[in-house]
Amino acid sequence: MAHHGNWWRYVAHDPEKDRPRVTRQLLVRVFGYARIYWRAVAISLAIIALISLIELLPPLLYRELIDNVLPNGEWGRLNLLALAMVSIPIVSGLLGVAQRYFNSRVGEGIIYDLRQELYEHLQRMSLRFFTHTKSGDIISRLNNDVVGAQGAIANTIPNLLTNIFTLVSTLAVMLTIEWRLTLLAVVVLPLFVLPARRVGLILREIRRKSMVLNADMSNAISETLNVNGALLVKTFGRGQHEMERFGKTNAEVRDIGIRQAMIGRWFFLGLSISGALGTALIYWVGGRFVLEDVITVGTIVAFAAYLGRLYGPISSLSNVPVEFARALVSFERVFEYLDMPVEIADKSDALELQSVHGDIRFEQVSFHYAVPEEHPLSSSNSAQSPGSNVSSPFLISSRPMALQALDFRVAPGELVALVGPSGAGKTTVTYLLPRLYDQTEGRILLDGHDLRDVTLESLARQIGMVTQETYLLHDTFAANLRYAKQDATQSEMEAACRAANIHDFIAGLPDGYQTLVGERGYRLSGGEKQRLAIARVILKDPRILILDEATAHLDSQSEALIQAALEPLFAGRTSFVIAHRLSTILAANKILVMSEGQLVEQGTHDELLALDGLYADLYRTQFREREKIAELVG
């Protein structure tokens, strides 16, 4: 499997060596998400500059009022100044509303783009990824981390530019008013800047740990507060244990939140003290200048007003590394998923299957599952450089091969029964056909085409599958059925349900086909879920059928009805059935007997009995006994 399939062979990097850095490559990638919104960004920047200029006017009005209007008793100019003082905040506020609109368009657009890209990438990931990744971690990346990443562009960057415009324009005006006081005000700037880098690094690491802990809490919630989890907890009496386990994680989230808040608070306290020191110096020296008639009272009042516009932006700019560091962690976590290569993907020249006959060949097919040595995406030790190639969390293990050198052919229209002990590899065979996994060695051919040479979508259209554990959406019966055929009519759905012996049950419900099946179908019995799943695959009308113990939860009467319904469905279609019932096995054209990942026998029922091998043993110890029990129960 030279293509697509070697991505899990890599070993996770040393987290200390690969600790993320703010690189040009990373920044280009981050700002790339804002590039398509450049018009809104440009308008927003223009408004920011205009607001900064307008807000420079009030201190100049204060100086004019104190130095000229009041001493000279100029009533007309007093009215004009009062009107200007009212108009400036109104105009500035309206411009702020407009700037907020364009900024929101950019921010929410980035959330949409980033979340959509991540969701689509995860949809392309193989089944292997989902079997080794906690659902809570995926949800956390799609929700918390995407929003956190968006904040860097929608909030941190606009605030940065606003503060730069304000700082530069304010310094320019202050220099024109009194350059000596301006230099004095600048003296305290190192007190703002120096602590910022250290605090930023600390808060960045705390932010990463906080995200990991929040993902752990999401996992605990998703695992225990759903139907399956609640049933497991209640039947094993583990409620108190789960409450204590959740309480521990919840406490860790609380504690790190307190630590983050306190570090930020101490940081801003230092900034406030620095600002107070600068203001005191200005009033002290400025007061001496007033007493010495160097400057006017209006000048020092205006200068004091500008100090707020000077130290405020400096404080914010000092905090930019902190805020950007927090957002950077979110980007890193999103990029970790986005940079994971897709294990199973279409080739650039993949063939689009139009129709198939169903001739299937396994040629020396071997396979083994990858297992996680350590899943870096669920650990705080998982930092990966967003611009680099992200190593996979999976390693090939030394566990035995799940399949070893399988070699067989199934002719079009044949019904094949897969039998063998638990863990023999029967389900693995059915997973390779729709390419839920790719084989490690060998080839699987469909009508002479290597499955890896055809498009995944066209292959999926040809295969209908009823898995061992039926999964139903928390939606209506109709919606679950139409998942197989979106444009299915009511009559088509009813015909499929009649064939699966489930129509009368659905029709007897108060809302019929519009009745909700409940979370994962938990309002239905096991047999009802199986029959609905079979109806769904009948509605799809595929050329290749895969039934993984599809009748395991049915009573003898329901099974007999479904077997009668499936018999014409099998006609002309290649079908694989993982069978534990003798009636299914006897109906098969070919029986494949699996043991420890190997195909040990194949043939018809009579041929295999004559061999007196594994199949004969299974027949004597399992199949025949189950048939007797079924007859007694029936």
What's the angle, vertex CA 244, arms to CA 241 and CA 246, rounded to 5? 105
Which of 64-68, 190-194, 198-202, 486-490 has the least mean pLDDT? 190-194
Spatial CA neighbour of 333 closest among 378, 375, 394: 378
Q: What integer pLDDT is reported at residue 233 of this predicted model?
A: 74
At 250-285, the pLDDT tens digits run 888 888 888 888 877 777 777 677 777 777 887 888
Q: What integer pLDDT is reported at residue 307 of this predicted model?
A: 79
At 189-246, the pLDDT tens digits run 666 666 666 676 677 678 778 878 887 887 778 777 766 677 667 666 777 888 888 8
CA 29 to CA 25: how far, in whole Å?
6
At 448-483, the pLDDT tens digits run 999 999 999 899 889 988 877 777 888 889 999 998
Higher pLDDT, 79 or 24: 79
Q: Residue 132, SS3?
A: coil
| Burial zone of 218 (CB within 10 Å; 0-12 exposed, 13-18 middle, 19+ buried) | buried
CA 374 to CA 561: how far, in whole Å?
48
Task: Output the CA–CA distances (angstroms, integers) from residue 99 to 108, 158, 303, 361, in the order listed.
Answer: 14, 10, 28, 63
Higher pLDDT, 370 or 482: 482
The tally of CA atoms less than 13 A away on the side-chain side of residue 14 is 2
pLDDT confidence band for 591 (50 / 70 / 90): very high
What's the angle, vertex CA 367, arms to CA 362 and CA 372, rounded to 5? 155
Which of 76-80, 172-176, 384-388 has the least mean pLDDT? 384-388
Q: What integer pLDDT is reported at residue 390 of this predicted model?
A: 38
> Any idea how long the chain is?
634
Q: What integer pLDDT is reported at residue 600 of this predicted model?
A: 94
> Per the structure block, which two tokens stand in for 408?
């067989």
Q: What integer pLDDT is reported at residue 205 of this predicted model?
A: 77
AA identity, residue 401: M
**pLDDT greater than 90 at residue 443:** yes
Q: What integer pLDDT is reported at residue 17 of this predicted model?
A: 37
Task: Output the CA–CA distances (angstroms, integers) from residue 410 to 403, 413, 447, 576, 605, in the order listed.
Answer: 18, 8, 10, 9, 16
Task: Output the CA–CA distances (angstroms, integers) from residue 485 to 375, 539, 566, in the order listed.
Answer: 37, 7, 19
At 292-331, the pLDDT tens digits run 888 888 888 888 788 778 777 876 776 676 677 667 777 8
| Burial zone of 15 (CB within 10 Å; 0-12 exposed, 13-18 middle, 19+ buried) | middle
**pLDDT greater than 50 at residue 186:** yes
Higher pLDDT, 548 or 539: 539
> What is the average per-residue pLDDT within 78-93?
89
Q: Residue 491, SS3?
A: helix
Q: What integer pLDDT is reported at residue 73 of this predicted model?
A: 80
CA 487 to CA 484: how far, in whole Å?
9
At 398-433, the pLDDT tens digits run 456 889 999 999 999 899 999 988 888 898 999 999
**pLDDT greater than 60 at residue 8:** no
> What is the average per-residue pLDDT within 523-545?
85
CA 231 to CA 228: how far, in whole Å?
5
Domains annotated on the chain, with CATH: 24-338 (1.20.1560.10), 360-380+391-472+526-633 (3.40.50.300)
**pLDDT greater than 60 at residue 374:** no
Q: What integer pLDDT is reported at residue 372 of this predicted model?
A: 43
What's the angle, vertex CA 31, arms to CA 28 and CA 33, rounded to 5? 120
β-pairing, 415-419 vs 590-595, is: parallel
pLDDT confidence band for 50 (50 / 70 / 90): very high
At 104-145, the pLDDT tens digits run 888 888 888 888 898 889 888 888 888 778 777 888 788 878
> What is the average per-residue pLDDT within 430-448?
92
Q: Residue 580, SS3?
A: coil
Q: Give residue 364's region: left, alpha or beta (phi > 0; psi -120 to 50).
A: left
Task: Output the CA–CA distances (angstroms, integers) from residue 304 to 183, 185, 191, 283, 406, in the order listed.
Answer: 14, 10, 19, 8, 84
Bridge partners (DSSP) of residue 578 are 418, 548
CA-based R_g, the chain, Å? 35
pLDDT confidence band for 553 (50 / 70 / 90): low
CA 413 to CA 34: how far, in whole Å?
54
**pLDDT greater than 70 at residue 360:** yes
Q: Residue 193, SS3?
A: helix
Spatial CA neighbour of 301 closest among 547, 70, 44: 70
Task: Output the CA–CA distances (angstroms, integers) from residue 301 to 67, 282, 472, in the order listed.
Answer: 10, 10, 71
Bridge partners (DSSP) of residue 37 are none
Q: Residue 11, SS3?
A: coil
The residue whose two tokens read 């406030």 is 272
- Number of CB atoms found within 10 A of residue 377's CB: 24
Q: Are 357 and 412 contacting, i.e. CB atoms less than 8 angstroms apart?
A: yes
pLDDT confidence band for 603 (50 / 70 / 90): very high
CA 122 to CA 99: how far, in whole Å?
34
Q: What integer pLDDT is reported at residue 411 of this predicted model?
A: 92
Higher pLDDT, 356 or 391: 356
- What mean pLDDT value characterizes the chain? 79
Output DSSP code: residue 67.
Answer: I
Q: What integer pLDDT is reported at residue 47 of this predicted model?
A: 92
Furthest CA-CA distance within the chain: 122
Taking the model in full, what pTM does it have? 0.71
Q: Are 431 and 122 contacting, i.e. CB atoms less than 8 angstroms apart?
A: no
Q: Are 367 and 594 contacting, i.e. CB atoms less than 8 angstroms apart?
A: no
**pLDDT greater than 60 at residue 42:** yes
